[in-house]
């Protein structure tokens, strides 16, 4: 193992042409820190030109999931102290996302258990994205005062039937069937078959397509497909506020529940997310990642990101006091300033 001690936050190894990246912070559901991002990026760069490596396999240690996202406690500390740590974290993370999306070798991501936020960023750009019966895949950022970053708006903008906008605004995760249905994953493999899959990949890393296909089975039923009609009918509005009003007025109880759920999220985050998903369809991933950095720096100047992280993971009172408190009170100019933020600080220098 090139990562050193077995208690390192990222473990890397190569066996039989299969390179492995194991996220190793199970107590934190493998939440990403800057040093973890650097370790992943360094390993991928080392293996890029190594002819003895045919494919890369990403997994997360522990029973709870691949990765619950980024280390948002560290982001909170940075925002409070003004240290600039959050900016550097985002820049390095987005470069890593770009590297995975453009990696020249098969990149197999096991999206077992919780795969949220930054976890989507390390997995959903892989060439082979595998889910199990435990998978919960989502971008919950509106609940902490952010937006689906790591290029999440680019991914969600490409989900059909406006379901991507629903997932973005509510922050609700989807299970394995819907992760595949909406283009966030490719293949369902039962969790009990993962060890055998890993062995087969190590034995034949030059033929990842055939190996993965040999373990693929039909996923469980979709949970969200029965809702696609009201989703398509309500998420076609011109603003976030109009969308929430349409949801609340729809006869489907599920639509009304979605409206109530969105109302609990940061109004600024909801409105910013709406605009970013709406416009990301016509952008490249590189452009979206650059916008994510600029918008992240701008939204971090507002109180909701600090307040959302405080309420969710620091004080854990789950009672954020958003400012402003409602979409009706939100100044559209504030949304425009975040979405259209310009900075000379770039992801790709």
The residues annotated as belonging to the active site are 70, 118, 141, 149
Q: What one-character-per-residue DSSP string does 181-214 give?
A: HTTS--EE--GGGHHHHHHHHHH-GGGHHHHHHH
18-23 and 10-15 beta bridge pairing: antiparallel
Q: Determine contact, residues 23/61, Cβ cutoff 8 Å.
A: yes
- Close Cβ partners of 29 (under 8 Å, ≥ 6 residues apart): 60, 62, 64, 65, 67, 68, 113, 114
Q: In the β-sheet with 18-23, what is the strand arrangement from edge to edge?
A: 10-15, 18-23, 55-60, 107-111, 128-131, 187-188
Cβ–Cβ contacts within 10 Å for residue 190, how many? 15
Angle at 93 between CA 90 and CA 97, to 5 degrees: 135
Rg (CA), the chain: 20
């Amino acid at each position: 193992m090139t990562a050193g001690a077995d208690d390192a936050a990222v473990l890397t190894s190569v066996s039989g042409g299969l390179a492995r990246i194991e996220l190793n912070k199970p107590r934190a559901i493998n939440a990403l820190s800057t040093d973890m991002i650097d370790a992943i990026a360094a390993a991928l760069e080392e293996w890029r030109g190594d002819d003895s490596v045919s494919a890369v396999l990403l997994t997360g240690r522990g029973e709870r999931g691949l990765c619950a996202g980024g280390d948002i406690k560290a982001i909170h500390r940075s925002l409070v102290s003004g240290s600039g740590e959050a900016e550097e974290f985002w820049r390095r993370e987005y470069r890593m996302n770009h590297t995975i999306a453009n990696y020249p070798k098969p990149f197999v991501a096991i999206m077992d258990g919780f795969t949220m936020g930054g976890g989507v960023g390390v997995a959903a750009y892989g060439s082979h994205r595998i889910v199990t019966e435990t998978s919960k895949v989502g971008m919950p950022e509106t609940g902490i005062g952010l937006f689906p970053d790591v290029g999440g708006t680019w991914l969600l903008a490409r989900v059909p039937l406006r379901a991507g906008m629903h997932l973005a605004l509510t922050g609700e995760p989807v299970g394995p069937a819907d992760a595949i249905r909406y283009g966030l994953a490719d293949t369902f493999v039962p969790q009990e078959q993962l060890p055998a899959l890993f062995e087969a990949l190590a034995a034949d890393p030059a033929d990842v397509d055939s190996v993965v296909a040999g373990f693929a089975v039909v996923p469980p039923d979709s949970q969200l497909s029965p809702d696609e009609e009201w989703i398509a009918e309500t998420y076609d509005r011109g603003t976030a506020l109009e969308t929430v009003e349409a949801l609340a007025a729809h006869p489907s109880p599920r639509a009304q529940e979605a409206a109530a759920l969105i109302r609990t999220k940061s109004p600024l985050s909801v409105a910013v997310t709406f605009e970013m998903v709406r416009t990301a369809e016509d952008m490249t991933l590189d452009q979206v990642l650059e916008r994510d950095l600029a918008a992240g720096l701008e939204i971090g100047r507002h109180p909701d990101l600090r307040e959302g992280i405080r309420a969710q993971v620091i004080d854990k009172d789950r009672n954020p006091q958003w400012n402003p408190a409602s979409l009706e009170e939100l100044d559209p100019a504030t949304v425009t300033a975040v979405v259209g933020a310009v900075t000379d600080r770039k992801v790709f220098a």
